[in-house]
Structure 1
Amino acid sequence: MTILIAGAHGVGKTFLAKPAAQELGLRYATASQLIREERGLATWTATRQVTDIDQNQVALINAVARILTSGETLLLDGHFVLRSSPHVHHRLASDVFRGLQCRRIVLLTAPAETLLNRLRERGDETWTSTELEAFSAAELQQAKLVAADLAVPLTVLDLPDAGRFRLALA
């Protein structure tokens, strides 16, 4: 099964999910890592702008299917919404998450200013507070829609610490 950890860029998905996966004995991967491994190339920029969205999702579904054949639980770090250019966001269909065999969703949230500061610390100056608010709102809306379509639990955590995050995975 797949537990999807989602949220806007800079919200702390990797920071929280990678050590939690190690502690709980889960397989951890980012969607971008699996796509890159499957396709042999990156189709996004350092500013989180994505091309080839449909082909990337097919590659991701294929990579996840191979992992799940081992019987492992996958903690997948990804998104419900992708950025193709500043202020242009694409929502991923529920069928993508059905293909990923998502059985639980944990959505991380944070204030736009927190996200903006974190992204700027990484050298990404392309985001605005307004765009991050819109992106975060779209992530939340799409997470709710996908969770309802797939009939899976959705947990929303605002700026969680490691303990609260691990509890949400139980």
Structure 2
Amino acid sequence: MSVIFLAGVHGVGKGFIGAPVAQALGVSHFTASQLIREEKGQATWGRDKKASDLDDNQRALIRAVNQRRLTHNSILLDGHFVLRNAQGTLTLLEMEVFSELHLAGVILLTEESNIIASRLAVRDKGETSIAAISELAKAESAHAQAVCRELGLPLAIIHAPTEKSVGYAVKKLLASYQHPTS
């Protein structure tokens, strides 16, 4: 059973691209927020994406992923390495969270901040600061790289992702995980 973590800031295309890629490859797709909401019975974040109870949310995510490991062969899990807490401060998610998810690898999606801002304005019907997106994207990338380096995880960084590029990365990670080199 393998879990591939599909990371990136809100609006980069994790769900938009991840769901059809997972379906085409016969892989289960879940969002971290969906699993946390199901596990806790409620959301602890608002439309502004600021989250409260970050530690409790991550424990709920780990429980939910471990439960799904029992019934799903491979999972494409879309989520984040960095979130804004309830006060709006960037918060790096603990290394331990990613260790306990037992990831096969990470795919980090990136895009120009102005493109993400346009998507979020349409999707979330609100104004989004390009500077705030840039700050979050930079922190997301740095922490993704640090986590992967520390845990020895393969990391694919895809700028301006497409279904084709993400599909290729997922297939490559699945193949290397299921058939480790000696």
TM-score, length basis structure 1: 0.95
Corresponding position of 2:131: 130
Corresponding position of 2:107: 106
User: Aligned equivalents of 2:160 and 2:130: distance in 1?
Assistant: 17
| SS at 1:156 equivalent | strand
Q: Taking structure 1 as reference, are residues 87 and 36 closer, same or farther at Cα in structure 2, changes over 3 Å only?
A: closer
User: Aligned equivalents of 2:107 and 2:98: distance in 1?
Assistant: 13
The CA deviation string for residues 112-138 of structure 1, in whole angstroms up to 9 with x for no partner, is: 101111111123535311111010000
**Could you tell me which amino acid in structure 2 is paired with residue 16 of structure 1?**
I
User: Aligned equivalents of 1:49 and 1:68: distance in 2?
Assistant: 28
Contact kept, 8 Å, 2:31 with 2:78, in 1: the verdict is yes
The CA deviation string for residues 146-166 of structure 1, in whole angstroms up to 9 with x for no partner, is: 101110100000012111110
Which segments of 5 or more consecutive residues in structure 2 lack a partner in the other structure? 172-182
TM-score, length basis structure 2: 0.89
Aligned length: 170
State how 1:2-151 maps to structure 2 within 5 Å.
2-70=3-71, 72-85=73-86, 87-125=88-126, 127-151=128-152
User: Aligned equivalents of 2:46 and 2:124: distance in 1?
Assistant: 12
Identity percentage over the alignment?
38
Give 1:100 shift: 1.0
Which segments of 5 or more consecutive residues in structure 1 lack a partner in the other structure? none
The alignment's C-alpha RMSD in Å is: 1.3
Contact kept, 8 Å, 1:87 with 1:131, in 2: the verdict is no
**Could you tell me which amino acid in structure 2 is paired with residue 141 of structure 1?**
A
The CA deviation string for residues 25-69 of structure 1, in whole angstroms up to 9 with x for no partner, is: 111100000000000000011111110000000000000001112
Contact kept, 8 Å, 2:4 with 2:76, in 1: the verdict is yes
Q: Which runs of 4+ in 1 moved over 4 A?
A: none
